[in-house]
């Protein structure tokens, strides 16, 4: 009996696979390019070559599976919402057909509101599809990824600023992807939970952008200020940075949902939703080297 991971090349899927293998579990991974996961295969993972939206690939991966970790890939195509929902729905149907009992779905804060939340819009129907298909499902509703700050490297390095439409008094959960992978491993390795549940993954504390800027100033050793801009300015900035219009539109919809409260966490903060990595730790170990490299000489 194996645990299937559908995204072993990502910054959540890869450490998750490593943790599961280190715990002595059999792991099956899905990859279009086996050479990219050759190191995981050497550690003992079984590789099924193919795409996560292919029925034959999922059929092969789900043979004898006891559990599945399902992550909808990032926004990467104009028809993303339809594609990701269809991929999740197909996977859920095959989970039922193969008798896979346990599923862990990577979801997000705001997923409870469905449409109108940009890339997050797809997650509610994906959650619901798996809950209709398997007896035991945990949806990990993660907060804002600290790694999203890597998108701001240029503005931090060149202007000492983070530009966002999020209001200065809006506190939100911020979590590292390493902690998300750890929480996913914890849930997959725990056979005691039953039924359907939503579990927040919230980082150590909720934080506002001005507070985040102060933390970055200290961690990076250079001033970083928070600058609030309008939604249309955000959209224009993303397009000027090279994002296609459809992608900029989707992210703008998400930022509007943040302002309106539709991206607020539905799950209250507790010891089970609180994870350890602080923004200061992330900024020092991950963000600072990238910012230093991007600074003008």
State the Cα torsion 75-81-87-92 to the nearest 10°. 120
pLDDT of residue 295: 80
Tens digit of pLDDT for each residue in 156-172?
A: 999 999 999 999 999 99
pLDDT of residue 278: 98
Residue given tokens 């919809």 in the structure block: 253
Task: Say whether pLDDT at 107 is over 90.
Answer: yes
DSSP assignment of 223-269 equals: --EEEE--HHHHHHHHHHTT--HHHHHHHHHHHHHHHHTTTS-SSPP
Q: How confident is the model at residue 1 (pLDDT cuts 50, 70, 90)?
A: confident
What's the rounded Cα separation, in Å, for the pair 127 and 23? 27
Tens digit of pLDDT for each residue in 231-279?
A: 999 999 999 989 999 999 999 999 999 999 999 999 999 999 999 999 9
Tens digit of pLDDT for each residue in 113-152?
A: 999 999 999 999 999 999 999 999 999 999 999 999 999 9
User: Could you tell me if 108 and 148 are in contact, meaning their C-beta atoms sit under 8 angstroms apart?
Assistant: no
**Nearest to residue 43, comparing CAs of 61, 16, 7, 66?**
16
pLDDT of residue 297: 62
> Once rounded to an integer, what is the mean pLDDT over residues 195-200?
98
Domain boundaries, the chain: 2-145+174-201
Stated pTM of the model: 0.96
Backbone angles phi and psi of 244, in degrees to 5 = -65, 155
pLDDT of residue 268: 96
CATH topology of domain 2-145+174-201: Rossmann fold (3.40.50)
Per the prediction, the chain carries an average pLDDT of 96
Q: Report the share of the chain in percent with pLDDT over 70.
A: 100
SS3 content of the chain, % helix, strand, coil (to 5): 50, 20, 30
């Amino acid at each position: 009996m194996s645990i299937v991971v559908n995204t072993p090349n990502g910054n959540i899927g890869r450490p998750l696979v490593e943790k599961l293998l280190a715990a002595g579990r059999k792991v099956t991974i899905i990859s279009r390019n086996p050479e990219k996961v050759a190191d995981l295969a050497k550690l003992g993972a079984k590789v099924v070559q193919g795409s996560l939206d292919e029925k034959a690939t999922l059929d092969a991966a789900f043979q004898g599976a006891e559990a599945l970790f399902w992550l909808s890939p990032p926004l990467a195509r104009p028809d993303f919402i339809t594609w990701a929902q269809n991929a999740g729905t197909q996977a859920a149907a095959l989970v039922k057909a193969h008798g896979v009992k346990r599923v862990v779905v990577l979801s997000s804060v705001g997923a409870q509101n469905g449409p109108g939340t940009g890339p997050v819009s797809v997650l509610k129907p994906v959650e619901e599809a798996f809950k209709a298909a398997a007896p035991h499902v945990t949806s990990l509703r993660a907060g804002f990824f600290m790694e999203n700050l890597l998108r701001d490297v240029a503005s931090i390095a060149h202007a000492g600023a983070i530009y966002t439409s999020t209001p200065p008094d809006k506190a939100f959960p911020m979590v590292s992807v390493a902690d998300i992978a750890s929480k996913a491993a914890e849930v997959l390795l725990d056979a005691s939970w039953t039924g359907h549940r939503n579990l927040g993954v919230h980082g150590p504390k909720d934080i506002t952008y001005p507070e985040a800027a102060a933390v970055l100033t200290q961690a990076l050793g250079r001033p970083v200020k928070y600058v609030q801009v309008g939604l249309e300015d955000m959209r224009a900035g993303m397009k000027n940075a090279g994002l296609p219009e459809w992608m900029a539109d989707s992210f703008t919809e998400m930022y509007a949902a943040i302002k309106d409260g539709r991206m607020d966490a539905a799950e209250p903060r507790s010891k089970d939703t609180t994870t350890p990595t602080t923004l200061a730790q992330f900024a020092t170990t991950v963000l600072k080297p990238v910012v230093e490299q991007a600074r003008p000489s």
